[in-house]
Amino acid sequence: MRFYDSLEKVEHKEEQLRLLVAQLSDSRRKSYFQQQSKQLKDPDTYACLNWFFLFGIHHCYLKRYWLFVAELLGSIWALVGSILGDSWGVWFFIALFLFELPQLFFSQRIARNYNYQVSYQIYADLQPGK
């Protein structure tokens, strides 16, 4: 996951891709935008899921199911430990919080980077010879 890229770097990559897409033939460009409209994710939705819902639901939105399962199991483990009064449950909640905090602050970049990767893959798939 590359959420530490600066916003300027993400915007630069998006602009480079826009220039490449503009060079596609009309039929390929139409196909590109049709596929892209079905697969892009809204950065604000990702940020809201990250902010308001627990247990890593926001990972499902970007199709990172393995990370969702890991965070869900970790949250359950920490919850059980906390209920039982063990200090490891509290420490694991703290670790999960520290893992999620940067994702919350960089949620817009994470979603935009995901969209860039999806868009670039669509562009690559439309190249002649594929």
pLDDT in tens, the chain (130 residues): 455 677 788 899 999 999 999 999 999 999 999 999 999 999 899 988 888 777 888 999 999 999 999 989 988 988 898 888 888 888 988 888 888 888 888 888 899 999 999 999 999 999 876 6
Do 42 and 128 touch, CB atoms closer than 8 A?
A: no
Q: What's the CA gap between 15 and 1, in Å, rounded?
A: 21
- For residues 6, 12, 46, 118, the Cα torsion angle rounded to the nearest 10 degrees is -130
Position 4 scores a pLDDT of 62
Residue 1 pLDDT: 45
CA 54: distance to chain centroid?
16
> Are the C-beta atoms of 5 and 113 separated by less than 8 Å?
yes
What lies within 8 Å, CB to CB, of 24 at 6+ separation is 32, 123, 126
